[in-house]
Structure 1
Amino acid sequence: MSDWLFDLGNSRFKFAPLQGVQAGAVQAWPHGAETMPAEQLQALPSGDVAYVASVAAPTLTRSMLAILQGRFRSVRVAHTKARYAGVRVAYADPGKFGVDRFLALLAAAERAESVVVAGVGTALTIDLLDADGLHHGGRIAASPTTMREALHARAVQLPASGGDYSEFANDTADALASGCDGAAVALIERSVAQAAQRLGGTPTLLLHGGGAPALLPLLGHAHFQPSLVLDGLARWAVHQPADAG
């Protein structure tokens, strides 16, 4: 029997086997479990313990948990804690700090250095963690994809996707890509600069999420860690009591 990690996000469902203290090979399906064909649901793994993180809607979360409960001996759902595995969350009410951001910090803390963690998914989230595991807070904004979709919803003549980044674009699609990607890059860069002032040294920048690859060429100093949330879930799992769940 094996243990598995499951991350149910707003737009993607990702899962991987638990291998030691990190995630193994990751599989990802778009749009969450709600739109998965029956054959994909039947192909989900089974095993001993399923460790689950979800920021999806409650009805979708309950649906996925019911499926996993039929395939695993135990299902354990991660929740944000004020203190966990050396990480101290800045929020006065930890329950309001998204579990995906919390788990990304758990994984980032393994580096034992100050980091700015930027997640690029439906939202753009940015968090600062110092080398001692203290979370200094962060930001939430629309991701470039969400910006494009919102503009298209309000002005259908503006395409929701496409275009290439340029500092001064001469085409509408390119201008949209440049503006939305550029806005995200500017916010990330400002966060890194402000973090350097606060900590007295420039932190390492970690990027994760489905929208991160598009920003990497614009953030040459960034480190791409696509499985950061699942790796954090793995760290959460190995710190759980043996009889938890």
Structure 2
Amino acid sequence: MTKTLLIDAGNSRVKWCWYERGRFAPLKSCEYVLDELRAALGTELTHDKPRYVVLSSVVVEDKERLVDDVLDEYGLDERLWLRSIDPRATDVQTDYVDPTSLGVDRYLALIAAYAHEKSALVAIGAGTATTIDALSDQGRHMGGVIMPGRRLMGHCIAHGITRLPRANGVALVKPTPFRTDTKSGLCDGAAYAWIGGVSSVLEDIESRMGRRLPIYVSGGDAEYLCRHLDRDVISDPLLIMKGLLAYAEIH
């Protein structure tokens, strides 16, 4: 495939990267603010035009429209939006009752991870929400779970209890049980809950599968999770983009 712009419209941020001649450029992102998107992505499009634009989306139309507006300004009319995956068009099948309800980002991550591994694995999306999906040796998605992400975990606690400060949870330091102020205690409590929840799900999956599995991690909080999970994992910030490219090439 010739020069391609890959865009992932996630819950909190727009992410993109360029692909050309077998190489992915570094991942970039910004919030859903038109001026910011124009300044970031628009600046790149001023100097370089892709042959193809392929996009995945888990967001509402208003956020998609912001991305479309910027692409329209640079005359990029030919684009492919993916909001769900057709299992008939990929090696990765799913046990989901309604395959179209499986988040496209989760499906793309599984496609990319399985293309590399060709055996059973777990894919974790550490974003606004945390998703954990299990794949069999035959490339069948057996299901998964969704839990609050690290920041959202702290916000949920603060929202449910009066007079607690909002927990941003942005520090990358290791959590400690000896915090001496409420906000830090809330952030670290959320981190413990999040890491513990992910670890518990991984243990359950591997117990049922009967062996240790490769763990692929992507998303904005991947770095934090990889630091604090007590095991080796494969961190790949481009996992969804690789799946997006692979699926687009089929079409």
TM-score range, shorter chain: 0.7 to 0.9
Decide whether the 8 Å contact of 1:195 with 1:202 is kept in 2. Answer: no
Partner of 1:124: 130
Query: How has the CA–CA distance of structure 1 residues 160 and 178 changed in structure 2, closer, same or farther, with 3 Å as cutoff?
Result: closer
Partner of 1:47: 50
TM-score, L = length of structure 1: 0.87
Q: Which amino acid aligns with 2:233?
A: A
Q: How far has the Cα of 1:10 moved from its partner?
A: 1.2
TM-score, L = length of structure 2: 0.85
Query: How has the CA–CA distance of structure 1 residues 39 and 193 changed in structure 2, closer, same or farther, with 3 Å as cutoff?
Result: closer
Q: Would you identify which runs of 4 or more consecutive aligned residues in structure 1 move more than 6 Å?
A: none
Work out which of the residue numbers 75, 78, 81 in structure 2 matches 1:71: 75
Structure 1: any 5+ residue segments left out of the alignment?
241-245
Q: Which amino acid aligns with 1:184?
A: W
Q: How far has the Cα of 1:215 moved from its partner?
A: 1.8
C-alpha distance in 1 between matches for 2:100 and 2:79: 20
Work out which of the residue numbers 216, 232, 235 in structure 1 matches 2:246: 235
Partner of 1:199: 209
1:167-189 deviations in Å (ceiling 9; x for gaps): 52332344323321222222222
Decide whether the 8 Å contact of 2:38 with 2:70 is kept in 1. Answer: no
Pairing of 1:4-83 with structure 2 (within 5 A): 4-20=5-21, 23-29=24-30, 31-34=31-34, 36=36, 38-40=38-40, 42-45=42-45, 46-69=49-72, 70-78=74-82, 79-83=84-88
Identity across the alignment (%)? 25
Q: How far has the Cα of 1:143 moved from its partner?
A: 0.6
| Higher relative contact order (CA closer than 8 Å, sequence separation 6+) | 1
* 1:85 and 2:90 correspond: yes
C-alpha distance in 2 between matches for 1:102 and 1:51: 15
1:128-157 deviations in Å (ceiling 9; x for gaps): 012221101000111110122233344453
C-alpha distance in 2 between matches for 1:43 and 1:35: 11
How many residue pairs match? The answer is 239
Work out which of the residue numbers 211, 215, 218 in structure 1 matches 2:225: 215
* Farther-moved stretch of structure 1 (14-23 vs 81-90): 14-23
C-alpha distance in 2 between matches for 1:89 and 1:138: 10
Q: How far has the Cα of 1:68 moved from its partner?
A: 2.3
Query: How has the CA–CA distance of structure 1 residues 98 and 58 changed in structure 2, closer, same or farther, with 3 Å as cutoff?
Result: same
Partner of 1:243: none
Q: Which amino acid aligns with 2:54?
A: Y
* 1:96 and 2:97 correspond: no
Pairing of 1:153-192 with structure 2 (within 5 A): 153-154=159-160, 155-162=162-169, 164-171=173-180, 172-192=182-202
Query: How has the CA–CA distance of structure 1 residues 32 and 115 changed in structure 2, closer, same or farther, with 3 Å as cutoff?
Result: farther
C-alpha distance in 2 between matches for 1:51 and 1:92: 27
**Structure number with higher helix proportion:** 2
Query: How has the CA–CA distance of structure 1 residues 157 and 198 changed in structure 2, closer, same or farther, with 3 Å as cutoff?
Result: closer
Query: How has the CA–CA distance of structure 1 residues 39 and 167 changed in structure 2, closer, same or farther, with 3 Å as cutoff?
Result: closer
Secondary structure class of the residue paired with 1:179: helix
